[in-house]
Amino acid sequence: TQPYRIAVIPGDGIGKEVVPEGVRILEAAAEKFGFRLDLEHHTFGSCDYYAEHGTMLPANWKEILTPTDAIFFGAVGWPATVPDHVSLWGSLLQFRREFDQYVNLRPVRLMPGVPCPLAGREPGDIDFYVVRENTEGEYSSVGGTMYPGTEREIVIQETVMSRHGVDRILKFAFDLAQSRPKKHLTSATKSNGIAITMPYWDQRVEAMGERYPDVRRDKYHIDILTAHFVLNPDRFDVVVGSNLFGDILSDLGPACTGTIGIAPSANINPEGRFPSLFEPVHGSAPDIAGQGIANPVGQIWTAAMMLEHLGEVDAANAIVAAIETALREPASRTRDLKGTATTREAADAVLRAFAAA
Ligand code: NAD
Ligand code: IPM
Ligand code: MN
């Protein structure tokens, strides 16, 4: 069989530290499960590249990445040298849009043995997906500044919700909910205050819901929804939200399971017309970069999500099982989980569990 063609883009900060650990598990999985990988390593999509070239990406980035089967991405951003909106709109947000990766799928799971910051919660109590709209909504380029530099200065950025864009993310979320035992979908809204786009969102949820009579659905305004994440995380199964709401919920959810350092994500173009992109939820963490202490589990779990997407389901499940085994051991945990392991040691523990299974 043909090798999977994977673009590897570490990006900045701890992205450069955790991506090699993700690559190690990918290579171990290929060996163990009998598939081949053709890894193409790229330095673009980083602030170092920007310093040298004045852009985040080469002009022909689409030609380079389009033929790949998937993009394995670390994190982008080094605000000390490049403003975040420049580095992010010049890379990750471009990929999401230009490759129409309209689903951002972010699992939230309390792993066995990991101390939960929420009192009395056990594995099984927190096990849901955040499904985030990934190409429109609040992340729009519609708007601008009027009367700049004057006292009348006005800055506007419009939220964009297209029927096509809203319906397709809702369909993905309902399909996912329908495939799960609980068959429950929660919609994040704010139709009390944001009185044009959010009532529209609610209306499309109702319309889509009629096509899924077996899926129980509810909705919460985003403010109280964040409270329920903390107080009643067992209430959730599939949570669907707009681009910004999904962004916020997908940091809060993992934080409720101990750390954002273990959380993976898949930026998916479900039709497969373009490559999908796999990255941890976290960023480049400048505050700990260069110390070798970043949690590699988010990147490693991301590798599992990518393999699942490529059809290597057994390999993906084996990686997640190895993560669970490793995390049970306090000595295998990094500092964000109150452990003492370095990035390398934490990854070694997962690799050992993977090899032993
Ligand atoms: P961040 O996720 O980088 O860090 C937030 C906090 O979590 C920090 O204290 C950090 O040390 C900690 N943390 C994050 N990942 C960790 C890990 N794997 N192990 C241990 N601790 C971890 O968010 P931020 O500080 O808001 O952003 C820093 C930079 O990253 C900015 O440039 C931002 O724009 C960018 N960013 C990029 C992405 C991405 O590429 N997908 C995501 C979020 C933020
Ligand atoms: C994420 C990140 C990005 C986002 C930033 C870095 C633009 O926070 O992937 O969650 O907001 O989508
Ligand atoms: Mn985010």
The minimum-distance atom of ligand 1 relative to the CA of 88 is 34
Give residue 7 CA to ligand 1 midpoint distance, Å: 22
Nearest listed ligand to the Cα of residue 96: 2
Same-domain status, 60 and 175: no
Q: Is residue 346 predicted with pLDDT exceeding 90? A: yes
**Residue 126's pLDDT band (cuts 50, 70, 90):** very high
Expressed as residue numbers, the domain containing 38 is 1-91+271-357
Confidence at 213, pLDDT banded by 50, 70, 90: very high
The finding on whether 189 has its CB within 6 A of some atom of ligand 1 is no
The rounded percent of the chain whose pLDDT value lies above 70 is: 100
What average pLDDT score do residues 275-286 get?
A: 98
Residues making up the chain, counted from first to last: 357
Average of pLDDT values for 279-296? 98
Let me know whether 330 and 229 are in one domain: no
Strand partners, 70: 6, 276
Tell me whether residue 266 is in a domain: no
Band (pLDDT 50/70/90 cuts) for residue 1 is confident
The ligand 1 atom at the shortest distance from the C-alpha of residue 298 is 18
pTM for this model (two decimals): 0.98
Only one residue has tokens 């006005």, namely 154
β-pairing verdict for 37-41 and 103-109: unpaired
- Judge whether residue 45 has pLDDT over 90: yes
Instruction: Please state, for a pLDDT cut of 90, what percent of the chain lies above it.
Output: 99
Ligand 2 atom 12: residue of nearest CA: 247
Where does the pLDDT of residue 198 fall: very low under 50, low under 70, confident under 90, or very high at 90 and above? very high
Query: Does ligand 1 come within 6 angstroms of the Cβ of 165?
Result: no
Establish if 109 belongs to a structural domain: no
8-state DSSP, 91: T
| pLDDT tens sequence across 140-189 | 999 999 999 999 999 999 999 999 999 999 999 999 999 999 999 999 99
Separation between Cα atoms, residue 52 and residue 39, nearest integer Å: 24
With respect to residue 105, please indicate whether it lies within any of the assigned structural domains: no
DSSP reduced 3-state for 132: strand
| 198 in the same domain as 159 | yes
Q: Rounded distance, CA 305 to CA 66, Å?
A: 20
pLDDT for the residue numbered 233 = 98
Does residue 12's CB lie within 6 angstroms of at least one atom of ligand 2? no
pLDDT over 90 at 23, yes or no:
yes
- We report the CATH number of the domain holding residue 180 as 3.40.718.10
Ligand 2 atom closest to the Cα of residue 243 is 12
Is there a contact between 205 and 217 (Cβ–Cβ < 8 Å)? yes
- In the chain, how many domains are there? 2
Examine the fold and report which residue of 226, 256, 286 is the final residue of a domain before the chain moves on: 256
Based on its alpha-carbon atoms, the radius of gyration of the chain, rounded to whole angstroms, reads 20
> How many angstroms separate the alpha carbon of residue 263 from the centre of ligand 1?
12
